Amino acid sequence: MKVKASREQNLARLREEAYVIEPGQKVEVDFFRPEDALGVARLYYAVYGEMFPVDHVYDPEELVRINESDDMFQVVGRTSKGDVAGLYALFKSAPSTKILEGGSWIVHPDYRGTSLGLRLVSKSHNNPPEHLGLEGLFGQSVCDHLISQKLCQRFKARVCALEIEPMPSRPGEAGEYGRISLLDSLIVLQNLPDEVYLPERYDAQLRELYGWTGLDRSLLKDTMGEKEIALTGKSVLSSNSLAEAGLLKIEVESVGDGFAERLAEVLREHQGMSIYQLVIPLWRNGCSVAVEAARREDFFFGGVLPLWFDRDALLLQRVTETPNFGKLCILQEESKALLKMVEADWKILHNEG
């Protein structure tokens, strides 16, 4: 049985070969083929160095395996010599069967003055895999420049959440900008009706966000208290540590008895992270209990994640350092309004403003 290469082994190979893509070649936009895998790894290394927090992007064999599943569909910009000069992908980033995330949008520096970036995204968004029956495409735009936000605007993506500084700084730029914030958005493919419960603390914010997204939702008031919640069963939480990024993602499978204690336990188990994110289901009465417990652990508002668990979820977040909200580059009016919501809630939590 062949042993899978480690992250360090893959990085060592890329480091040693020091591969250079020849500029000025003609580029074809096409769906990923197994022979593109090494070129994709080389592209990640050329753009991100050794800092990208996901291991498989440097592993050609793993890239082939994932592309053969329903978890990722990559589109590449393939040069006449077979190099990969650009990449865009639809990939599974949530437990949902109804959304894939559009991202991993990378263009080699020598090909950024061309139409390659737009061609990559157009092929992905215009040809989503029909057999999956997707209801939406989830996307993230960085907030240290406006290019990806302009792309989301072009494809009519609807902003839904703002993640404060989950990405580490770009290689060589730690002193210039620091950690990077992300705007989350959704391209709606099928607008099917559903019900969501709005926690009292964030009722107004969520009503405004749902108004922007245009999603067909019945907005219900959350009415279940701690005593009633305790009778529904145990609280179940799962966590995913992205150590390279200093990020811990916590997903709440159910809010029940002992939620505050279970959340505190998870946080104790993962001390020393830069960013903590908490995703809470909104289709069950009782989410207010989870919100108030999270507030006591310094979590503040992030937004809504439509269809995250096949149904909608609330994003809360905790940051170790004081966020620099003023440095964010924000394009659309809705995104600016969301930034104000997030910043205001952080200031309330920290008795500022």
Examine the domain organization and report whether 1 and 104 are in the same domain: yes
Examine the domain organization and report whether 204 and 102 are in the same domain: no
Examine the domain organization and report whether 86 and 211 are in the same domain: no
For residue 232, give the CATH number of its domain. 3.40.630
168 neighbors 189 (Cβ within 8 angstroms): no
How many CA atoms lie less than 13 Å away from 266 in the CB half-sphere?
A: 22
Examine the domain organization and report whether 229 and 316 are in the same domain: yes
Examine the domain organization and report whether 234 and 339 are in the same domain: yes
Number of domains comprising the chain = 2
Assess if residue 227 is contained within a domain.
Answer: yes
Examine the domain organization and report whether 108 and 218 are in the same domain: no
Nearest-CA neighbor of 280 among 188, 219, 199, 185? 199
Q: With cut-offs at 50, 70 and 90, classify the pLDDT of residue 1.
A: low
Assess if residue 53 is contained within a domain.
Answer: yes
Domain boundary (116, 134, 152) is at: 134
The whole-angstrom separation of Cα 106 and Cα 120 is 9
> What is the per-residue pLDDT across 235-282, written as a single tens digit (0 to 9) for each?
999 999 998 889 999 999 999 999 999 999 999 999 999 999 999 999
Examine the domain organization and report whether 204 and 67 are in the same domain: no
Give the pLDDT confidence score for residue 17 in this predicted structure.
Answer: 95
Assess if residue 142 is contained within a domain.
Answer: no
Its sign, for the CA torsion 102, 108, 109, 112, is negative
Nearest-CA neighbor of 351 among 300, 304, 281, 275? 300
Q: Tell me which residue has tokens 């305790």.
A: 230
Domain boundary (113, 134, 155) is at: 134
pLDDT at residue 219 is higher than 70 = yes
Examine the domain organization and report whether 117 and 235 are in the same domain: no
pLDDT at residue 353 is higher than 80 = no
Domain with 306 in it:
194-349
Give the pLDDT confidence score for residue 107 in this predicted structure.
Answer: 95
The whole-angstrom separation of Cα 219 and Cα 283 is 10
Examine the domain organization and report whether 201 and 118 are in the same domain: no
Assess if residue 146 is contained within a domain.
Answer: no
The whole-angstrom separation of Cα 281 and Cα 169 is 30
> What is the per-residue pLDDT across 41-82, written as a single tens digit (0 to 9) for each?
999 999 999 988 789 999 999 999 999 998 999 999 999 999
Q: At 155, phi and psi to the nearest 5?
A: -95, 15
Examine the domain organization and report whether 129 and 198 are in the same domain: no
What mean pLDDT value characterizes the chain? 93
For residue 89, give the CATH number of its domain. 3.40.630.30
Q: At 144, phi and psi to the nearest 5?
A: -100, -5
Task: Determine which helix (DSSP H) or strand (DSSP E) holds 304, and give its type and residue range.
Answer: strand 300-305
> What is the per-residue pLDDT across 143-185, written as a single tens digit (0 to 9) for each?
999 988 998 898 899 999 999 999 988 766 555 678 999 999 9
Helices 333-349/203-213 angle, 10° precision: 160
Examine the domain organization and report whether 221 and 124 are in the same domain: no
Looking only at the bridges linking them, the beta strands covering 275-281 and 136-142 are: unpaired
Assess if residue 186 is contained within a domain.
Answer: no
Assess if residue 124 is contained within a domain.
Answer: yes
Confidence (pTM): 0.87
Show the tokens assigned to 236: 């179940």
Assess if residue 179 is contained within a domain.
Answer: no
Assess if residue 313 is contained within a domain.
Answer: yes
